[in-house]
Amino acid sequence: MNPDIRNLTNSARQDDWAPLLRQAAMAPGKHWADGARCVGENPEFFVLPSDDMTQNPDYVRHAEGEAARRSLRICSACPLPVAARCLVDSLKHDERHGIRAGLLAAEREGLRKAWSRRIDPAAVSAVLSGTYKPLGKHERREVIARFAGDRSLDPEVVARGLGVPRDYLLKLARMHRKKHGMEVPSSVSSSPAG
C-alpha cells in the first residue's frame, strides 16, 4: 500500500478522519477519477472472488496471488487525493466488495465499521437546520436525540433535513424520549402529535 494512504488510514482508525477527508477533498467533483491509475483496466481485476469483508486478508492475498498483487500495485501508484477520494466514497456508500486505495475489502472492514460509528458535527448541524445530508446510523441517532430534547427545533425543518415526514420524526422523538426516560419539551407536549 502507498505509505501516504497507510498514514491516512492509520489516523482514521484512531478516529482522526480529518487528514483522509482533506486529501479526498483535493479530488473534487464528478471527474475525480480521471487521473486514477485503474482507468482503462478491467474492473473485474479489482473485485477478487475470495475478497470478502469477513475474510482474513492474508488468506485473500494468498488465494488470489498475482491477481491481487497486480491490482494492489496499480492502486499504490494512484495519486494520493484520488486514492483518498476512492476510499472515502467506498465508505460513504458502504461498499463491502472490491479493492479501494490499495486495501482489500477484507482490510477495510475496521474502517467501514469506524465510519458507520462516526458523528460529523457539521452534517448533524446541517440536518438540524433543514439541509438534507445522507447520515450514518449514529449521526441519525444524534439528530433524533437532539431534536427530542430541544423544544426550540422546528419539526418541519428537521424532518426536511432528515428526509422523513414530520409525523415520522415526531414518532421517532417520542420513542427516543420513552427509551431514555426523558421529559417531553413543553412546546412539543402541547402539540397534538407530540
- For 32, the grid coordinates are 475525480
Q: Which is nearer to ligand SF4, 36 or 128 (CB)?
A: 36
Q: Does 83 bind ligand SF4 (CB under 6 A)?
A: yes
Given 12, 27, 48, 75, the residue binding ligand SF4 (CB under 6 A): 75
What type of residue is 45?
F
Residue 8 found at the interface with ligand SF4 (CB under 6 A): no
Among 20, 24, 27, 78, binds ligand SF4 (CB under 6 A): 78
In the bound state with ligand SF4, the residue whose beta carbon lies nearer, of 32 and 147, is 32
What is the Cα–Cα distance from 105 to 118, expressed in whole angstroms?
19
98: left (phi over 0), alpha (psi -120 to 50) or beta: left
Residues 6 or more apart in contact with residue 156 via CB below 8 angstroms? 166
Q: Using CB under 6 A as the criterion, which residues of the chain lie in contact with ligand SF4 when the complex forms?
A: 33, 36-38, 46, 74-75, 78, 82-83, 86, 99-101
